[in-house]
A and B are shown apart, each in its own frame.
Chain A
Amino acid sequence: MSSPIVKLVAQRIALGILLLLAVSVLIFAGTQILPGDVAQAILGQSATPESLANLREQLGLNQPAYIRYFHWLGGVLTGDLGTAMSSGQDIATSIKERLWNTLFLAFWAAIVAIPLAITLGLIAVRYRNGWVDKLISGVALASTSFPEFFIGYLLVFYFAVQHQWFPAISTVYDGMSLGERLQAIALPAAALTLVVLAHMMRMTRAAILNVMQSAYVETAELKGLSAAAVIRKHAFPNAIAPIINVVMLNLAYLVVGVVVVEVIFVYPGMGQYLVDHVTKRDVPVVQAVGLIFAAVYITLNIVADIAAIVANPRLRHPR
């Protein structure tokens, strides 16, 4: 590995950290702009001016906002996300298991969705403009166009209610075997797969088709290579950068965009946790979850950038 790569990677990571800091400022500011403060939210109906003042003192709300921001940020950096207002429980502990559940679901959805999307994309290119291509594109676009709650309910109706092959609710808990867990998450994973499939598939198709116009592919064809071999050996490696990008974007979506799917399938993940606490105006939890979602998004984007750079020599030497 040459040093320009290391430098580029370091730059990207530094940029990502800076971006994350900016996001944390935004999240903090956003929750400050909301009317009322945490003390008022905690006391609710029984708030008297005196008890409000006491609680503000106790929570350190009398300090200026920037000091509170750094205090909060310091806590986050040391793994202390604070305590939830509604239950008084430590947020980091409650989030740990939920985050794991969300990642578990995203992981299995990705395991199915990414190879499937890329394979379908490749097949579509191989038979471009034929009926196979049109069928694949049509079905994938249709499944993406439906909102995920609709797809979720359709899957529940068909696979859980009518045929009872999979459970309608995806409760997972400790002590479940991997097989049981996989069966439990089959429907939400399928719903997520259907939602992200088309984007990746279309991108794969477009990127490879783009490469297929180039002279060296023509040369390869003239050499007498079969269509499949041309795609595999020449077109795909050159098209990988944009594909990785779109895959990473969709991975990020699988983690942060599952809120609706988790609620429909009663899956104990981050999305459900967020919704539970938003309805109770539990600001510390909303802040923490927001920050984690932002971190996941930014991290995956950095990974995408770096992977693209590593995969494409042209990007390693920016002019």
Chain B
Amino acid sequence: MSNELDYLSRRVAAGKLSRRDFLGRAAALGVTATFANSLLSSAVRAAGPVKGGTLKAGLVGGESTNSLDPALFMTQVPFAFGKMWGELIVELSPDGKLENRIAEEIGSSDDAKVWTLKIRDGIEFHNGKTVTAEDVAATLERHSDEKSKSGALGYMKGIDTIKVNGKEVVLTLKEPNADLPYLLSDYHLIVQPNGGKDKADAGIGAGPYKVKVNEPGVRHGGERFANYWQGDKMGHADQIEIIVINDATARTAALQGGQVNMINRVEPKIVDLIKRVPGVTIRNHSGPGHYVFIMHCNTAPFDNNDLRMALKLAIDREEMLKKVLRGYGSLGNDFPINASYPLFTEIEQRKYDPDKAKFHYKKSGHDGAVLLRTSDVAFPGAVDASQLFQQSAAKAGIKIELKREPGDGYWNEVWNKQPFCASYWGGRSTQDQMYSTAYLSTADWNDTRFKRPDFDKMVLAARAELDEAKRKAMYHDMAVMVRDEGGLILPMFNQFIDATGPKVAGWVEDPHQELCNGYALAKCWLEA
């Protein structure tokens, strides 16, 4: 059987058999689609990337206000274009491990307080200069400066001193942090000549493509950088182009019409239609992003854990996943971590249980309706999801009153202000980052008002722990605490849904961000 599959997958790689036919034949041989797909991609990779051509992506998330200064990156287009022209110190690999990039080696002292980055030899900037330890140090300095307004400032503030020692950069932290390498994989921290202190938006980095066109809000173009240090692995197309298409229908039409080879953010409700278009492949992958209903643990009536538990049990997650995300997601379990994070452990799945919900509701002593605020901007399908929640809760005897808020001002007036509302989180790269951003007592974005000194202590202890097994156990305990006592109702994790057009090969599933963590244009190629 496997011989036949091998043969078939090689035929696909050689372009003699369509992907769809292959999957059909594989199914006939009794192979699951997932396995067949992975077999296929390895066969295509074995056939080797095709060099040349132009790859184009049509992406949502670009504005006329975008800048090439990596410190100011916020939306999807600068993020993806930054990965094309910039090179990071360290990156997360698709399997969730750390992959050293400009740093050849990263080591730490036993207390995780002093970190040493050894800089790799022979990496070149687009302006012909060699990347040095000084450049890396200057980059980190600039992002730790309030004036840079860097999106990474939050973590960078934890660095006390940055010193250069020959080919090494030595970082001393204010508090121990075992996650430092993960933090350094932040997409803002593109290494620039002299850290970008001379001209932050020069667009000169050490990435696989040189900036050729930069028209913010319209398009960005890159030309292959001949001296890229990993030219065999990335940068297959001669030219890459990102066209900003914020309108979802126009984006889909551009893919169908062949103006672009890939798009991001396909809406779940049209995925099934797009799938049927010949040549189009849907690339969906679960990530850390999640859709939530958040209750303030310090505001009546949500200051009562029985009421919170009743609401958590009164939501029908399976139904919501099926109807709102059309299956393009995974079930949530009321803590913000899933398998896309390192050191994740499974906890028993919470299920819809009207009887138990009724029991906790009675015990809470609450009477009358609970007011839930929702809006279309909270997450795609939030209003529908809220209505489903209302219905499933009604079956448990809990009355939820819905208030639809205007999208304009939702993030200023409702989220993080009102005690019960719909919202979303994009997720972070490590558990520590996620918990520090939204679950520490002192965090600005503690949108569930989960203020527990014992939990804070656990976060800090886990951050300083270098022993992985111990850390994993600590994160497990923290997750249980948030799940059973917190104010978070997390029905589902959403997926990134990208799509590629005909002949796009080399796609690598990556749980960290959409478009192969932003590298799709550099990692993919066009089959001959």
The answer to the question of A32 belonging to the interface, with a C-beta cut-off of 8 Å to chain B, is no
Q: Enumerate chain B residues within 8 angstroms of A161, measured Cβ to Cβ.
A: 253, 256-257
Q: Which residues of B contact A266 (CB under 8 A)?
A: 243-247, 250, 254
Given A45-B412, A87-B65 in contact, is the A173-B253 Cβ separation under 8 Å?
no
Are the CB atoms of B213 and A169 closer together than 8 Å?
no
Q: Is the CB of A273 within 8 A of B64?
A: yes
Interface centre among A89, A161, A266 (most CB of B within 10 A): A266
Q: A94–B64 Cα gap in the complex (Å)?
A: 9
Give B450-482 as 1s and 0s: 1 = Cβ < 8 Å from A's Cβ atoms.
Answer: 000000000000000000000000000000000
A268 engages B257 (CB within 8 Å)? no
B64 touches A168 (CB 8 A): no
Confirm or deny: B523 has a beta carbon within 8 angstroms of a beta carbon on chain A.
no
- The answer to whether B65 touches A264 (Cβ under 8 A) is no
**A171:B243 contact, CB within 8 angstroms:** yes
Within 8 A of B (CB), among A143-169: 153, 156-157, 160-161, 164, 167-169
State which of A169, A173, A268, A276 has its C-beta within 8 Å of the C-beta of B58: A169
Q: Which residues of A contact B65 (CB under 8 A)?
A: 84, 86-87, 89
Docked Cα-Cα span, A157 to B246, in Å, equals 18
Cα A94 to Cα B66 in complex, Å, equals 13
Contact flag A167-B257 (CB < 8 Å), given A264-B247, A266-B247 = yes
Q: A169-B58, A171-B243, A173-B215 are in contact. Are A160 and B253 (CB under 8 A)?
A: yes
Known: A89-B65, A273-B64. A168 touches B215 (CB 8 A): no
Q: How far is the CA of A87 from the CA of B69 in the complex (A)?
A: 13
Q: How far is the CA of A265 from the CA of B249 in the complex (A)?
A: 10
A282 — nearest CB in chain B belongs to which residue?
A: B65
| Residue B405 CB within 8 A of the other chain | no
Contacts of B412 in A (CB 8 A): 44-45
Judging by beta carbons under 8 Å apart, are A169 and B63 in contact? no
Q: Are B218 and A164 in contact (CB under 8 A)?
A: no
Smallest CB gap from B215: residue in A:
A173
The answer on a CB contact under 8 Å between A169 and B217 is no
With A45-B412, A86-B65, A169-B58 in contact, do A263 and B256 touch (Cβ < 8 Å)? no
- B220: shortest Cβ distance to chain A, in Å? 11
Query: Is B148 close to A, CB under 8 A?
Result: no
Chain B hits for A264, CB < 8 A: 247, 249-250
Chain A residues with CB under 8 A of B247: 263-264, 266
Contact indicator B256/A168 (Cβ below 8 Å): yes
The residue of chain A having its C-beta at the shortest distance from the C-beta of B258 within the complex is: A164
Q: B256-269: contact bitstring with A at CB < 8 Å (1 yes, 0 no)?
A: 11110000000000
Asked whether A169 lies within 8 Å of B218 as measured between CB atoms, the reply is: no
A192 to B254, CA, bound (A): 20
Closest to B407 in A: A279
Chain B: number of interface residues, binned into ranges: 20 to 34
Which residue of chain B has the shortest Cβ distance to A165 in the bound complex? B257
Q: Which residues of A contact B253 (CB under 8 A)?
A: 156-157, 160-161, 168-169
A96 vs chain B, min Cβ distance (A): 13
The smallest C-beta distance from B328 to any residue of chain A, in angstroms, reads 23
Query: Is B63 in contact with A276, judged by CB distance below 8 angstroms?
Result: yes
A171 touches B249 (CB 8 A): no
- Minimum C-beta distance from A200 to chain B (A): 28
Among residues 251 to 280 in chain A, which have CB atoms less than 8 Å away from a CB atom of chain B?
Answer: 263-266, 268, 273, 276
Complexed CA–CA distance, A45 and B416 (Å): 11
Q: Is B219 an interface residue (CB 8 A)?
A: yes
Q: What is the distance, in angstroms, from A172's C-beta to the closest C-beta of chain B?
A: 9
Within 8 A of A (CB), among B221-278: 243-247, 249-250, 253-254, 256-259
* Nearest A-chain residue to B246, judged by Cβ: A266
In angstroms, Cα B254 to Cα A161, docked, is 8
Q: Whole-angstrom distance from the CB of A212 to the nearest CB of chain B?
A: 46
Decide if A173 touches B219 in the complex (CB within 8 Å): yes
How far does the alpha carbon of A167 sit from the alpha carbon of B250 in the complex, in Å?
11
Interface contact B64-A87, CB-CB below 8 Å: yes
Q: In the bound complex, what is the Cα–Cα distance between A173 and B241 (angstroms)?
A: 13
Scoring B249, B250, B256, B412 by chain A CB atoms within 10 A of each residue's CB, the highest score goes to B250
Hey, which chain B residues are within 8 Å of A156, CB to CB?
250, 253, 257
Complex Cα distance A86/B72, Å? 13
CA distance A256 to B412 in the complex (A): 32
User: Which B residues lie within 8 Å of A153 (CB)?
Assistant: 249
Q: How far is B63's CA from A86's CA once the two chains are assembled, in angstroms?
A: 10
- Compute how far the CA of A268 lies from the CA of B218 in the bound complex, rounded to whole angstroms: 7
Interface positions of A from 164 to 186, Cβ below 8 Å from B: 164, 167-169, 171, 173
Interface string of B30-64 (1 = CB under 8 A from A): 00000000000000000000000000001000011
Instruction: Select from chain B the residue with minimum beta-carbon distance to A85.
Output: B65
Chain B CB count within 10 A is highest, among A167, A263, A273, for A167
Residues of A within 8 A of B58 (CB): 169
* Shortest beta-carbon distance from B245 to chain A in Å: 5
> How far apart sit A164 and B255, CA to CA, in the bound complex (Å)?
11
B64 and A169 contacting across the interface, CB-CB below 8 Å: no
A160-B253, A265-B250 known; A171-B218 Cβ under 8 A: yes
The A-contacting residues of B in range 424-449, CB under 8 angstroms, are none
* Residues of A that sit less than 8 Å from B by CB: 44-45, 84, 86-87, 89, 94, 153, 156-157, 160-161, 164, 167-169, 171, 173, 263-266, 268, 273, 276
19 pairs of residues in contact across A and B, judged by CB atoms under 8 Å? A44-B412, A87-B65, A153-B249, A156-B257, A157-B253, A160-B253, A161-B256, A167-B254, A168-B253, A169-B243, A169-B253, A173-B215, A173-B218, A264-B247, A264-B249, A266-B250, A268-B217, A268-B218, A273-B64
Which residues does B use to contact A, with CB under 8 Å?
Answer: 58, 63-65, 213, 215, 217-219, 243-247, 249-250, 253-254, 256-259, 412
Sort A-B residue pairs by CB-CB distance and give the 8 closest, nearest first.
A87-B65, A168-B253, A160-B257, A168-B257, A161-B256, A169-B254, A156-B253, A268-B218
